[in-house]
Amino acid sequence: MRYSDFTTYDLLLLAQGLGVTIGLFLVTSLIGLVIGVLWGVVRFYRIPLLTPLITFIAELLKNSPVLVQLFLVFFGFPAFFHLNVTPVQAAVVTLSANTAAFIYVIAVSAIESVGREQIDAARAFGLSRWQILRHVIAPQAAAFSIGPLTALLVNQLQVTSLISVIGVMDLAKIGATLNLRTLKPFIVWAVVGLLYYLTAKLIAAVGARYETRLRRFSEFRGL
Amino acid sequence: MLKVENVKKAFGAATVLDGVNLTVSPGEVVSILGSSGSGKSTLIRCINGLEKLNGGRIAIDDFDVAKPKELAEARKRSATVFQLFNLYPHMTTLQNIALAPVEVLKRPRAEVEQEARALLASVGLSDKVDAYPAHLSGGQRQRVGICRALAMKPRYLLLDEVTSALDPEMTAEVLAILAKLAREGTTMLFVTHEVEFARQISNRIVFLDKGVLLVDLPTEEFFAASGGLAQPRIAQFLSKMKKD
C-alpha cells in the first residue's frame, strides 16, 4: 500500500473532523442563540446605554468578515492583552459572537412582527412588559423566526469551516490534511463537501420539523 | 368615579384634545359622539393609559393614570373593547379571555376559565371556546373582545367604536349584547357613531368637536331642540348621520 492511498483510518479522521465541526456548531449556536435573544430582549425593554451598545456591537460583527474576527480573537487580542488563547477557545468566542449578532437581528424582526394593536390591548388590560413578552410576543415571534433561524444555522455550519485556518481539527482541516497526503483533491473535497451537505440537510430537516409544529400552533396565520 | 379633568393631548403640532372635562359615575352609560378626528378614540386611549397626557389629569376611582404605580390599579378597574378587536391571534378564545384575569388579577385559572366559558355562552359562542380568532367572523371576534373585557369584572367598560368595523348584521349582534349590559347596570363609556343606539342606552351624551367637549347633557336634553340640537355643530352632525 502506498503512503498516498486511502485507509480505513482516514474514515475515522473524517468522522473525528465531522464530530468537531458539529460539536463546535452546536455549542456556538446555542451560546449565540442565548446571547442574541437576550440582546433582543434588552432592545425590547429599551434599556438606556445597553441598547445602543448592543446595536453597535451587532453592527460590527455583522459587517466585518468572520475570518478577520477570528484572526483578531486568535492573534490580535492575545498579543494586545498578553493572553493565552487556544484555537478552540478562539473559535468558540468568534462563532458564538457572530451567530449572536445575526440572531439578534432575527429576534428584533420577530418581536417587531407582532402587531402593535395586540401589545396595546395587553397593556390596557394591565399586563407587565415581561408578561406581554412572554404570553403575547414570544409565541408569535418564535413562529415568525424559525424559518430565518434555520437558514442562518445552515449558513453558520458552513462558516465553521473557517476555523480550520487557525488549526482547529475540524472537517475542513481534516480534508486539507488528507488532501496533502493523498494528493487526490477531487475525492477528498467531494467527500468533505458531501458531509457538510448532509449535515446542513439534517439541520434544515430539524428546522422544518419545528416549523411544521409551530405552523400547526400558528394555524391562524394561514401559512 | 372616572374623572377626566382639563385633559390636553397633542401629536406634534396637532392638538387632539383641548381641555376636556368628563365624569362617569358607577352605573352610568355615557356615549361620546363626534365626527372622525374629533378625539373620541384618543380620549379612550388616554383613559386606559395608552397615551401620555400633555396636560390635565385622569383618575379612575382616584387612581391617577399618569402615575405608573397607580396606573396598574386604574387598569384593574377598567377594561377596553377595541374597534379592531385586538385579539391575540395565537390564542384560542378561551385563552384570550383568561389571560389578563389570570396574569394581572392573579385569579385561579380553573375558576377564570369556568367564568370565561359562561361568558362565551352568554354571547352565543359556547361552541367557539377552542377556536382561534382567524376562524371567527368579525361579529364573533368583537363578542370575544367584549367577553375578554367583562372577564376582568371592570367597574368601567370603555368601548371604542366597537361596531365600526362590522357589517349591519354583525353590528346588531354586538349592540344587542351592549344593550343587555346597559340594562344590567354596567358602567360604560361608549365611543360610537351609532347615534340611535346611543340614544336608547345612554344616560348622558357627550359631544366632541376638534378635541373640544362641546356639550355633556342628559340624553333627552341632548336630542331636544332647546338642548344639544340648539348647537349648530351638533345639529349638523346629527343631520348628516341621519342621511348616512
Does the beta-carbon distance from B104 to A125 stay under 8 Å? yes
| A35-82 pLDDT per residue, tens | 999 999 999 999 999 999 999 999 999 999 999 999 999 999 999 999
DSSP state of B35: -
Q: Distance, in angstroms, between A128 CA and closest chain B CA?
A: 8
Q: Which residues of B touch A (CB under 8 A)?
A: 48-50, 72, 75-76, 79-80, 82, 84, 86-90, 99-100, 103-104, 132-135, 148, 152
Mean pLDDT of A107-111: 95
All three cell numbers of A192: 468533505
Q: Label the pairing between strands B156-160 and B78-81.
A: parallel
SS3 B156: strand
Look at residue B63 in the predicted model and tell me its pLDDT.
95
| Total domains present in chain A | 1
Does the residue A16 lie in any domain?
Answer: yes
From A122, which residue of chain B is nearest by alpha-carbon distance? B100
Mean pLDDT, rounded, for A21-29: 97
Residue B77 burial (10 A CB sphere; 0-12, 13-18, 19+):
middle
Percent of chain B with pLDDT over 90: 68
User: What would the grid cell of residue A128 be?
Assistant: 407587565
Query: Residue A146 belongs to a domain with what CATH number?
Result: 1.10.3720.10
- Residue to test with chain A: of B103, B136, B147, B152, most A Cβ within 10 A: B103
* Residues in Cβ contact with B230 at an 8 Å cutoff, skipping those fewer than 6 apart: none
In a domain, A37, yes or no: yes
* Contact state of A127 with B100 under an 8 Å Cβ cutoff: yes
**Residue of chain A whose Cα is closest to the Cα of B44:** A124
Mutation site, A116, A119, A125, A131, interface B, largest B CB count within 10 A: A125
Pairwise CB contact (< 8 Å): A122 & B134: no
Chosen for mutation from B48, B85, B88, B156 (greatest number of chain A CBs closer than 10 Å) is: B88
Burial B101-119 (b: 16+ CB within 10 A, else e): bbbbeebeeeebbebbbeb
Residue A192 lies in a domain: yes
Residues A17 and A193 sit within 8 Å (Cβ to Cβ):
no
Q: How far is A135 from chain B (nearest CA, A)?
A: 8
What Rg value do the Cα atoms of chain B yield, rounded? 18
Query: Which is nearest to B55 in space by CA: B13, B20, B22?
Result: B20
- Confirm whether A177 is domain-assigned: yes
Domain that holds residue A89: 8-221
Report CA dihedral (B173, B177, B179, B181) to the nearest 10 degrees.
-170
- Look at residue A22 and tell me if it is in a domain: yes
Report the C-alpha gap between B169 and B11 in whole angstroms.
Answer: 36
The distance of A140 to chain B (nearest Cα, Å) reads 7
Residues of B in contact with A222 (CB under 8 A): 134
Task: Using the predicted structure, report yes or no on whether residue A221 has a pLDDT greater than 50.
Answer: no
| Rounded Cα gap, residues B11 and B24, in angstroms | 26
Contacts of B132 (CB under 8 A, 6+ apart): A219, A220, B89, B90, B91, B92, B93
Q: Taking residues B117-146, report their average pLDDT.
A: 91
Partner-chain residue, chosen from A117, A127, A218, that has the shortest CB–CB distance to B82: A117
Residues in a beta bridge with B7: B20
| pLDDT tier at A222, thresholds 50, 70, 90 | very low
Instruction: Give the ipTM of the model, two decimals please.
Output: 0.91
Q: Which amino acid is at B164?
A: S
Identify the bridge partners of residue B206 per DSSP, sorted by sequence position: B32, B216
B131/B143 Cα distance (integer angstroms): 13
Class of the CATH domain delimited by B2-86+157-243:
alpha beta
Domain range annotation of chain B:
2-86+157-243
A153 domain residue, yes or no: yes
Are B25 and B119 a contacting pair, CB within 8 Å? no
Q: What is the pLDDT of residue A1?
A: 59
pLDDT in tens, B136-186: 988 899 999 999 999 999 999 999 988 887 888 888 888 888 888 888 888
Query: Residue A223 — pLDDT band, cuts 50, 70, 90?
Result: very low
Q: Do B90 and A140 touch (CB under 8 A)?
A: yes
